[in-house]
Homo-oligomer: A and B are copies of this chain.
């Protein structure tokens, strides 16, 4: 087997690979990030690279125009190398890590709850973390009292802290005698409340949690007592450092989920996990991202890593499987069964997390293959499970999750909306980072657009919340009709025929400084319509299953980082969210991270989280005929059934069409 060298530019990283390796595989091995939204199947056309020198074979190069091909552009996933080659990765195909997901400010319009208030959504929970530290002075052994070192420590914990029925980690037992003697019998014990025994009995929840001793340190270190909580998103990882003495959040950090290099969504990652060593690579990759966050958090806050004693993570079911190392294979195949919904706590270093060896990772329980711990965590954070009000909880994303219910019952479903709301599936789509079009307005006089981007830099593309605004504006001005088709009678040169059919030029190449005009096509609009139709049909179906309608809802909670940046009125205008009283809507931002924080601060909420996971009834919509009917009916603006959107319909009627 001949070996050749691939050099990636502009990063100037070289790697030796076997002749016949794809450029994408080589980039993965070299740690060079190339967007590959479809996991390397040649379907998304995002992994464009330029072969600057050397011989390659690209006989099945798929989704690429003849002109681009002539200019040396190739899809990295479909190009195999035959000789030493140099490959240039275009700027748009590299992950933008300069603009972290923190770059935007959440809307503050009264309905968007600010972080200080969020804790108040949940009530009745007192401050009682699962993780506790106890300073204890142990009687040194004498001939008349020479029971084991462990016994005397347990005795002291009982006498001084009324702590009993405690278990001990075996690794700690191996060090116990030496630590106690070195510390001259004054030590600090760290315990975590566990219910390992019954935790997995998904049908029962019996027996109280018992403390497990995980660390014994010399002296009194009770003053330094920290925990890190994570939201493991398919796209982004978020971490928070908590002070368990003061319940303060000492810092927040975020990273892209490095698994993106193996596929944009959970399905492509499951596909990748089935390759040889795939599951391990996906696990190492997310753990690598979490480690960056851990390092950033402790460094910024000036906290010693050894005093971080616990990690809690919430993520969707696939993310949870990949994190702890369970094979997600059957989540993808009908009838969509996960290995488990409850995950036993595992030692964090076992999966490579860069924390002290005694730290355990607690992973939020899931409900079903497509309703994960992130949703359970969000429902907890929203407090909807505690209140009598009938509530609809929506997490909008590639996979949209919906929960309806109240203190008495909870039903849930998920629907695949496609990646449009995360910028995927759009010709010029991108994630919500610097340069993404965020706000959009049409000048009534000139029909010229006004564009505002995240970070106020030159427009690079369209993110999900921007696309909603564009669509609503197009509809209101009549640039598109209710079917999402461009109105060719409009007096603007921006509507034109492109390679993919009709398109609207948002920004000309001279304006963007890139090599192409930035457009939104009819195909893009159709994808957005399908995405919003799926979300709305999911809500309809779930409500219908319990004999309810939108007007019965007393509260609608929008979760997810994306939700935080949505313009509510525009989202209702396009028919993504129901046309009901606006004051019923509450935006809670990253509910998954918030819930992870709450269960770290309160044992009672930790119990609640597990109860919620058990209590939620999952309805499978993917092959439901009623769902399909409603989905098709929703591919219209705002909806084929105008009576569902009375206020929007009325406004559209009254609005003066500009063309």
Binding site for B on A (CB under 8 A): 141-152, 154-155, 158, 164-168, 170, 173-174, 176-178, 181, 194, 196-204, 206-207, 210, 212, 324-327, 329-330, 334-342, 344, 346, 366, 368-369, 618, 620, 622-623
Contacts and interface: CB of A to CB of B under 8 A. Distances in A.
B326 A173 contact: yes
Contacts of A330: 149, 177, 181
Nearest to A155: B203
The 5 closest A-B pairs by CB, nearest first: A150-B340, A146-B335, A141-B337, A143-B335, A151-B202
A649 to B, nearest CB: 36
A339 to B, nearest CB: 5
Contacts of A329: 177
Contacts of A155: 203
B344 A168 contact: yes
Contact of A210 (B141, B166, B197, B369): B197
Contact of A201 (B143, B154, B198): B154
9 contacts: A146-B336, A148-B339, A149-B339, A151-B202, A164-B201, A165-B197, A167-B196, A167-B200, A173-B326
B197 A167 contact: yes
B200 A147 contact: no
Contact of A620 (B143, B166, B173): B143
Contacts of A148: 202, 337-341, 366, 368
Given A141-B336, A154-B202, A155-B203, 13 more contacts: A143-B334, A143-B335, A143-B622, A146-B368, A148-B339, A148-B368, A149-B338, A149-B340, A165-B197, A167-B201, A173-B344, A174-B325, A196-B196
Nearest to A324: B170
Contacts of A143: 334-336, 620, 622-623
Contacts of A339: 148-150, 173-174, 176-177
B147 A341 contact: yes
A159 B368 CA distance: 22
Given A155-B203, A207-B165, A326-B174, A149 B198 contact: no
B174 A327 contact: yes
A146 B177 contact: no
A396 to B, nearest CB: 24
A201 B166 CA distance: 6
A165 B341 contact: no
Contacts of A340: 148-151, 168, 173, 176
A200 B150 contact: yes
B146 A344 contact: no
Nearest to A151: B202
Contacts of A368: 146-148
Contacts of A336: 141, 143, 146
A164 B204 contact: yes
Given A341-B147, A346-B170, A204 B165 contact: yes
Most B Cβ at <10 Å: residue of A165, A334, A346: A165
Nearest to A201: B165
Given A149-B338, A151-B202, A327 B178 contact: yes
Contacts of A154: 200-203
Contact of A151 (B210, B334, B341): B341
Contacts of A146: 335-337, 368-369, 618, 620
A150 B202 contact: yes
Contacts of A151: 202-203, 340-341
A330 B185 CA distance: 14
